[in-house]
Amino acid sequence: MQCNTDNVVYMDNNATTRIAPEVVDAMMPFLTDCYGNPSSMHTFGGQVGHAIEQARSSVANLLGADANEIVFTSCGTESDSTAILSALQTYPEKRHIVTTRVEHPAVKSLCENLDNLTGHKHRVTWLKVEADGTLDMEQYKESLSDDTAIVSVMWANNETGVIFPVKEMAQIAKERGILFHTDGVQAVGKIPMNLRDTKIDFLSMSGHKLHAPKGVGVLYVAKGTPFIPFLNGGHQEHGRRGGTENVASIVGLGTACDLAAANMEEENTRVRALRDKLEQGLLSSVPKSLLNGNKENRLPNTSNISFEYVEGEAILLHMNQYNICASSGSACTSGSLEPSHVLRAMGVPFTAAHGSIRFSLSTYNTEEDVDFVVEKMPAIIANLREMSPFWEE
Amino acid sequence: MWEYTDKVKEHFINPKNVGEVKGADGVGNVGSLACGDALKLTIKIDKNDIITDAKFKTFGCASAIASSSVLTEMLKGMPLKEAKHITNDDIAQALGGLPKEKMHCSVMGREALEAAIADYTGAILPMAQGEVVCDCFGITDLEVIRAVKENNLRSVEEITNFTKAGGGCGKCEDTLRSLLVKTVEDLPASKEEPAKQKRMTTLQKIKKIEEVLEREIKPTLKKDGGSIELIDVDGDFVTVSLRGACSGCHSSQTTLKEYVEKKLREQVLDTLIVEEEK
Ligand SMILES: Cc1ncc(COP(=O)(O)O)c(C=O)c1O
Ligand code: FES
């Protein structure tokens, strides 16, 4: 299969990212000659084990953690499930979980199905968000109880990019003796972090959001945090996750973490400036367009904009005509008949939620990309609005 | 990504007959902003009852726009008598088919056409007389029954694909299921029936519900500064009123469905439907 990337303007990096060429180079030997099993006694396999340990150090370095706190998994979703189910098994007598209304399905669906999964009744507190997508810390504090086994709050939201104060929240949980998990899938690599400075017990990350391949993830388990594996099997990952390692992807993830650490400054300056330019350009050239989510407390790469009176899928398909890639929170694209649960939790009116478009940039975006999108969008929206029975100039 | 036919793409990218016919003889307005799609169809009819012009304005996804566009093409030059018989399937066929989740877009086309014709003839639409069974999308029982009959629907999921009913909060699912069963007399036993259905007298139900409200639900709502009172129990319908901080707030519906109803279903009876007092 051939995919032509020549004219693609890719602004859907919160969905997935391009694998960095450096990452591909680092992986290649492990897809060809270096095929040994890292658990083997012979040098041929054993040397592969060294590559995994090197990758582990790179991940730890990006997170501000120690290498032995890093467990490789198959994806962000597995990491989320592992952390939450581990906490529930650690404290089988505790039957309460605190999370938010805006989590990714990886946490949301899990929490909705806990009773079936564990065979016990659980109570879930779904923390509310304000209109700008931020949390109410008072509600958070009041929600904690002696029955709470774990708090799971995402570091940054995948749809709006809004950042939650997880460091502070973990501190509060710790004081109450409650485990704290954060889904860091969107935050890792985009904002600096130093887990050593926090009371976070578990953090999930996913390779494909930071220019490593799909199908590899990490669960950070803080030293001293009780842990019960999700996949039982061999002694891989020091007995914390059975299954022969996805060597090439793990090595790729290590390289991607090195790149992310090196690019952190750029992500928060050049990429942020591109995002801001795109956002300003769109909001000023398209009437009745509004920003979703807190403007300041946000990932540097994400912009979620609602274009009122038009529908998201229609917008995306017109953008597709120009090879511009983005996402929408509209009902039609979510596969359900209701718009995104994140925007609804924020109380974004249906008129705007149906027409929301998420632009998410990366270090591979250029000034030309932004100019192109700002040039094309106004006509796309105007054209669809002309067709809309609700639109009046 | 949806699999759209070339015909859908063509009508979506270059829609025909966008706008409003001047001095229209019939106007059909269906859908709403909240629902995510809406269509305003205007038609011009000459003295021989031939449709001479048709235009549309649509808010919605690609298949909604394509359905509207292809419908106006079909209508132009068509005798009114014939137009009355256009079905949603005709519209879908003209597009070379639609993904099953998008069939409601073709239904919207047919409904707008019917509304426009009724506007012209002065008839009252039977659909408008039905009783709303799905509040989220304002769908009546007559609309559901018709969709079931015309398209041979056999599950609640299919009803949702064709009419949208049931695709929101989901509280109307039971009503839809019983409508379906009634409409399709010889329906084989539905596998979607809840697993553990017990029989309870109303008094038993009230007692159990009160118990769960006191023990679990009230203490939780109280943390948000709210409270709940049981108003009535009629069959499986439980009417409550939300008081204090939760009443009238936009998330009260969520509280009601995702928390109160879920708890009551878990602990009392899994067929219960919780509603707020109007
Ligand atoms: C916030 C968040 N959590 C979890 C995931 C799931 O990660 P993965 O696709 O690796 O399972 C994603 C990605 O879609 C995400 O954005
Ligand atoms: S009432 Fe039908 S889905 Fe909500």
**B145, pLDDT greater than 80:** yes
What is the predicted pLDDT for the residue at A367?
97
Whether residue B59 and residue A309 make contact (CB cut-off 8 A), yes or no, is: yes
Considering the domain boundaries, does residue A130 fall inside one? yes
Q: Is A30 exposed, middle or buried (0-12, 13-18, 19+ CB in 10 A)?
A: buried
Most confidently modeled range among A266-270, B103-107, B204-208, B244-248:
A266-270
SS3 label, residue A59: helix
B62 lines ligand 2 (CB under 6 A): no
Tell me the CATH number at A46. Answer: 3.40.640.10
The reply to whether A49 and A86 lie within a common domain is: yes
- Residue in chain B closest to A380 (alpha carbons) equals B13
pLDDT band at B125 (very low <50, low <70, confident <90, very high): confident
The reply to whether A301 and A254 lie within a common domain is: no
Tokens of A328: 């929408």
Long-range CB contacts for residues B258-267, cutoff 8 Å, separation at least 24? B258/A126, B259/B217, B259/B220, B260/B217, B260/B228, B261/B171, B263/B212, B263/B216, B263/B217, B264/B209, B264/B212, B264/B238, B266/A115, B266/A121, B267/B208, B267/B212, B267/B216
pLDDT band at B195 (very low <50, low <70, confident <90, very high): very low
SS3 label, residue A151: strand
B39 vs A contacts (CB less than 8 Å) = 389
DSSP symbol at A18: P
B171 lines ligand 2 (CB under 6 A): yes
**B248, pLDDT greater than 60:** no
**Mean pLDDT of the A287-302 span:** 96
A166: left (phi over 0), alpha (psi -120 to 50) or beta: alpha
Q: Which domain covers residue A355, as residue numbers?
A: 9-16+264-387
- Residue in chain A closest to B165 (alpha carbons) equals A337
Whether residue B60 and residue A314 make contact (CB cut-off 8 A), yes or no, is: yes
- In chain A, the number of structural domains is 2
Whether residue A139 and residue B61 make contact (CB cut-off 8 A), yes or no, is: no
Give the Cα separation of A349 and B18 in Å (integer): 27
The reply to whether A41 and A103 lie within a common domain is: yes
Rounded to the nearest angstrom, the distance between the alpha carbon of B137 and the centre of ligand 2 is 7
pLDDT band at B127 (very low <50, low <70, confident <90, very high): low
The reply to whether A206 and A278 lie within a common domain is: no
**A58, pLDDT greater than 60:** yes
- CA dihedral (A334, A336, A339, A341) in degrees, to 10, reads -90
The reply to whether A42 and A154 lie within a common domain is: yes
Whether residue A139 and residue B39 make contact (CB cut-off 8 A), yes or no, is: no
**Mean pLDDT of the B40-61 span:** 95
CA-closest residue to ligand 1 atom 5: A76
Q: Where in chain B is the domain with CATH 3.90.1010.10?
A: 6-121
A310 vs B contacts (CB less than 8 Å) = 59
What is the predicted pLDDT for the residue at A278?
98
Regarding the domain delimited by B6-121, which CATH topology (the fold level of the hierarchy) does it fall under?
A: Sufe protein. Chain: A (3.90.1010)
Pocket test for ligand 2, best of B135, B177, B273 (most atoms within 8 A of CB): B135
Give the 3-state secondary structure of A175-216: HCCCEEEEECCCCECCECCCHHHCCCCEEEEEHHHCCCCCCC
Per residue in A338-363, pLDDT (tens digit) is: 778 999 899 988 778 889 999 999 99
pLDDT band at B126 (very low <50, low <70, confident <90, very high): low
Considering the domain boundaries, does residue A392 fall inside one? no
The reply to whether A191 and A135 lie within a common domain is: yes
Pocket test for ligand 1, best of A73, A75, A77 (most atoms within 8 A of CB): A77
**A147, pLDDT greater than 70:** yes
Q: pTM for this one? A: 0.80
Q: Where in chain B is the domain with CATH 1.10.10.1100?
A: 127-186
Domain boundary among A214, A242, A259: A259
Give the Cα separation of A362 and A274 in Å (integer): 9
Considering the domain boundaries, does residue A393 fall inside one? no
Q: Are A282 and A83 in contact (CB under 8 A)?
A: no
**A94, pLDDT greater than 70:** yes
**A335, pLDDT greater than 90:** no
What is the predicted pLDDT for the residue at A109?
93
Tokens of A148: 């709470």
A319 vs B contacts (CB less than 8 Å) = none
Give the Cα separation of A123 and B221 in Å (integer): 13
The reply to whether A276 and A323 lie within a common domain is: yes
**Percentage of the residues of chain A whose pLDDT score is greater than 70:** 98
Pocket test for ligand 1, best of A74, A100, A104 (most atoms within 8 A of CB): A104
pLDDT band at A369 (very low <50, low <70, confident <90, very high): very high
Whether residue B29 and residue A121 make contact (CB cut-off 8 A), yes or no, is: no
B157 lines ligand 2 (CB under 6 A): no
The reply to whether A213 and A280 lie within a common domain is: no
Q: What is the CATH code of the structural domain delimited by B127-186?
A: 1.10.10.1100
Tokens of A141: 């504090």
Give the Cα separation of A121 and A149 in Å (integer): 13
Of B18, B33, B223, the CB nearest to A142: B223
Distance to chain B for A314, nearest Cα, Å: 5
Considering the domain boundaries, does residue A200 fall inside one? yes
Most confidently modeled range among A226-235, B224-233, B244-253:
A226-235
CATH of B202-276, one of 3.30.70.260, 3.30.300.130, 1.20.1090.10, 3.30.160.70: 3.30.300.130
The reply to whether A252 and A330 lie within a common domain is: no
Q: Are B103 and B135 in contact (CB under 8 A)?
A: no
What is the predicted pLDDT for the residue at B196?
46
Cα A313 to its chain centre, rounded Å, is: 22
Considering the domain boundaries, does residue A322 fall inside one? yes
Tokens of A109: 């669906």
What is the predicted pLDDT for the residue at B247?
60
Beta-carbon neighbour count of residue B257 at 10 Å? 18
B177 lines ligand 2 (CB under 6 A): no
CA-closest residue to ligand 2 atom 2: B134
Mean pLDDT over all residues of chain B? 85
Amino acid at B136: C
CA-closest residue to ligand 1 atom 14: A15
Beta-carbon neighbour count of residue B49 at 10 Å? 13
B159 vs A contacts (CB less than 8 Å) = none
pLDDT band at A150 (very low <50, low <70, confident <90, very high): very high
Domain boundary among A234, A259, A284: A259
**Mean pLDDT of the A53-82 span:** 98
The reply to whether A38 and A61 lie within a common domain is: yes
Q: Are B70 and B11 in contact (CB under 8 A)?
A: yes
Ligand nearest to the CA of A208: 1
Most confidently modeled range among A7-16, B231-240, B249-258:
A7-16
Rounded to the nearest angstrom, the distance between the alpha carbon of A14 and the centre of ligand 1 is 9
What is the predicted pLDDT for the residue at A332?
65
* Lowest-pLDDT choice from A69-78, A80-89, A272-281, B100-109: B100-109
Per residue in A180-195, pLDDT (tens digit) is: 999 999 999 999 999 9
Pocket test for ligand 1, best of A13, A107, A111, A209 (most atoms within 8 A of CB): A209
Q: What is the DSSP string of A26-46?
A: HHHHHHTT----TT-SSHHHH
**B35, pLDDT greater than 80:** no
B18 lines ligand 2 (CB under 6 A): no
What is the predicted pLDDT for the residue at A160?
96
How far CA A301 is from CA of A187, A285, B272, in Å, comes to 10, 20, 45
Per residue in B59-103, pLDDT (tens digit) is: 998 999 999 999 999 999 999 999 999 999 999 999 999 988 888
What is the predicted pLDDT for the residue at B251?
66
What is the predicted pLDDT for the residue at B11?
95
Of A331, A339, A390, the CB nearest to B59: A390
pLDDT band at A336 (very low <50, low <70, confident <90, very high): low
Tokens of A83: 């952390």
User: Comparing C-alpha atoms, which of A264, A268, A207 is closest to residue A26?
Assistant: A207
User: Comparing C-alpha atoms, which of A85, A117, A114 is closest to residue A204?
Assistant: A85
The reply to whether A170 and A231 lie within a common domain is: yes
B140 lines ligand 2 (CB under 6 A): no
- Residue in chain A closest to B160 (alpha carbons) equals A337
Phi, psi at B141, each rounded to 5°: -60, -35
Residues with CB under 6 A from ligand 1: A 75-77, 104, 106, 154, 158, 183, 185-186, 206, 217
Whether residue A313 and residue B62 make contact (CB cut-off 8 A), yes or no, is: yes
**Mean pLDDT of the B184-213 span:** 67
What is the predicted pLDDT for the residue at A338?
73
**B191, pLDDT greater than 50:** no
Per residue in B155-171, pLDDT (tens digit) is: 898 998 888 888 878 88
A123 vs B contacts (CB less than 8 Å) = 220
The reply to whether A233 and A269 lie within a common domain is: no
Give the Cα separation of A55 and A26 in Å (integer): 11
**B250, pLDDT greater than 60:** no
Angle A106-A111-A117 (CA atoms, 0-180°, nearest 5)?
100
- CA dihedral (A388, A345, B256, B141) in degrees, to 10, reads 20
Give the Cα separation of A263 and A259 in Å (integer): 6
Q: Which residues 288-327 of A have a C-beta within 8 angstroms of B?
A: 309-314, 317-318, 321
Give the Cα separation of A389 and B33 in Å (integer): 9
What is the predicted pLDDT for the residue at B194?
44
Q: Which atom of ligand 2 is nearest to the CA of B139?
A: 2
How many Cα neighbours within 13 Å face the side chain of A250?
25
**Mean pLDDT of the A41-55 span:** 94
B135 lines ligand 2 (CB under 6 A): yes
Q: Is the dihedral of CA B102, B108, B110, B113 positive or negative?
A: negative
Chain B interface residues facing chain A, Cβ-Cβ under 8 Å?
2, 12-13, 15, 18, 29, 33-34, 36-40, 57-62, 64-65, 101, 136-137, 160, 164, 167-168, 220, 223-224, 250-251, 258, 266
**Mean pLDDT of the B208-213 span:** 88
Per residue in A308-333, pLDDT (tens digit) is: 999 999 999 999 999 999 999 876 66
Q: Where in chain B is the domain with CATH 3.30.300.130?
A: 202-276
Q: CB-based contact (8 Å) between A388 and chain B?
A: yes
What is the predicted pLDDT for the residue at B198?
58
Rounded to the nearest angstrom, the distance between the alpha carbon of A107 and the centre of ligand 1 is 9
